[in-house]
A and B are shown apart, each in its own frame.
Chain A
Amino acid sequence: MTAGSRRIAVRSITAAVVWVALWGCAVKPLSTADQPIPLAAAASPQVVAAYHLVEDGKQQLALGQTGAAIATFQKALALAPSSPHANLALGEAKLRQADYRGALVYGDRVARLVGDDPEWLWRIALLRGQAYEGVGDRTRARAAYRDVLGVDPNNVEARAGLDRVAPE
């Protein structure tokens, strides 16, 4: 191998390593909580439309348009009352508004709608953990946070929540 070709090989390998590293960063998964939850394959058209509305509502929420976001989530719910996405979004909105009992109602609805889909279970558990913590039910909050960590051991919110509600 000539020096030139060696240099080319080294550069190529270096470039490949850098490219792979960059790619790795680029495709590094978002924190699980930020990832949209996929739609069920058999979702009805209404549920699909509601899913997109919920995504729109999340963008409004990110822009600080809380009232508008909740209106969008409610619109999604009215369009598809069996949409787990709409119900979860409203549950999370209730949580933000410190309406913890309302959040629990929506959490229960989502639980009924999604059965034992692991993709959803930890999210429901996290919602419940935060809502129970909000109403002061530390025991149930602890159990819910542990459920989250059982599915997603690296979940930062659940870990922090568990620390907050740890027995004194």
Chain B
Amino acid sequence: MPQTAREPKLPCEPTLRRTLLFCLVTASTFGAVMVLGTILAAQGLSLLELGILGLFGLLFAWITTSFWTSCAGFVLHLFGHRGQRLHDRSRAAGIDPKPSGDGSRTALIMPIYNEDPTRVRAGLEATLQSLLEYSTAEHFDLFILSDSTDPEVWLAEEQAWSRLNREFAGKLSVYYRHRPKNLARKSGNIAEFCESWGYLYDYMVVLDADSIMSGRCLVKLVRRMDLNPQVGLIQVPPVPVLRESFFARSQQFAASVFGPIFASGLSFWFGGGSNYWGHNAIIRVAPFMAHCGLPNLPGREPFGGEILSHDFVEAALLRRAGWEVWLADDLSGSYEEPPPTLIDHAKRDRRWCQGNLQHLRVVFAEGLRPLSRLHLGMGIMSYLSSVFWFLLLTLSGLEALRQAGTEHSYFIEGDLFPNWPVSYAFEATTLLAITLSILYLPKILGYLALFLDRRRLQAHGGPVKAGLSLLLESLTSILLAPILMLFQASFVVSILAGRSVRWAVQQRDDGETSWAEAAAAHLGHTLIALLAGCLSYIYVPDFFFWLTPVLLGPILSIPLSRFTSRVDVGRRLLDWGIFLTPCESDPPRVLRDLARRIAEAKPESARTSLFEQAIADPFVNALHLTLLTRESRSRSERLHLDALIARFQEKGAAGLTSGEKRDLLSDPESMSSLHALAWRAIDSGPSVPDPLTQRA
């Protein structure tokens, strides 16, 4: 296992590619800014117009980067060159690769926090079953790393682990670890794994609670790591799958059609300086342990404290230490589940927004590679762009108002010739057309890329249905983009105002949005859009019509949010072949297996809670006790726990809060005593509290 960073002598090709990207983005932005500048500077540039020009330049550069990335990806697909760059690079670089199959050990790690244990188990079973179909399964171990705080979830996880442990006994080791306190959140959870068991493994594959990876993909990742000892991390782009709501299916379709060319483009530009997205990636453990220990940032939250979005920072730290980070755009078999509704998407965005804005403290850190700074900057910009867009619209409205109040003077004093107004309609229309092309051409390129692979085209429903899906997806994104802009702008403002975010659990099933939820989330958007529409219609009617595409989404946001969350609409579209993806039309075996396992895993209608079962049921109690680590308790802690036991005896489980149940569950002594007391009560006859006797 390499312990030190090494930087092989690489050809200058990546630098050339990045220079090309820089030139393309700069030239496009420069051209667009010049055209807008010509229009605005007809009567000299005011401060307002300078602001518009600056914001437009920033936003144009932002969308142009995505545009050129998609173009590069499309060209790569056209010539069939995707994902060929990491293969056998070690030979070219003169590094001895590790012979494959000489016993490199890989840990699949899944950090979880109050996730649905049934879904977690089904996903892991499907992944492990797929892995067992390949011969190298004996080199993999699975770790479920729980930070769950909900007592019921904690106990359900233990049972899920016990079933996994039995199912894969003798084939593959499945481990479970629960941390009583979720220090440093997910990154702390992974760090604790590395610190405790990192010595056992060469690589670790990080999985999210909704991640699914095929055995073939996992084995290929290990093989690539073996062959490329200079690589510290390989990220596989996760394909969103399995959700059925309209919103989620439109996202799944977009990711399936436009995602591959975008990922190829990213991989082409960044090569070994790519980024890490937090899961569905393989990491070399030794350099990760040596170089990716995350410190607490100075200052208070939301900018200080624990690093929330750890993935970008870890990739930057690996790069700083000389390790390569790759995006394996050619590997399939990596999946995740998207948020089912617009509101869930926004909730996830709120968390990511704070994490990315926190990178303002990291982006200037000493020694980081320029490309890592670019990744961090792009993460920040993905949220700031919403604020800039909002500001651009506001300033444009004010400029339109100013223009409307200014009369053109045909005769200027001292000038013999009349000052005829000059029309810039052509320039303005051209600029609009270019902007729209830059926004929508990547979608068309994604659609055209389908025609390069007949099977892929058919799997998306054929040319007509895929085209209709593209139109519907574009229409949906036109309507939803301004709503997301308002969401993100409000998140940025609230974070800048110093409000932090809790580590909330992500909604991972198809829960639909109710009218009340939609109204609570979107009333503000509707009012803002109505106000902006009324003001522009009254004072600048010409501007109002330009603004309608942006206003329509927020005005309709409440019914739109409710409608797009509906599963029946998503299913109906599936029946019609709209938004069809290969994972729906011809699901890979690992996803079929997962779907079957989820369908089979019906929730058990237990008469008592798992907490009560952990007290009364001999097996559940034993399982829990054996997984606890024994800690010495102070006298006051012991008194507190004894008081809780007494209260439980008096009032049952209902008399305890969730935190108090967690306290009892964390203490082996208390759980043994409660189990004994329960059985004494059962043995004593009917005059015992219900919860204790029900199980027996």
The yes or no verdict on A and B being binding partners is no
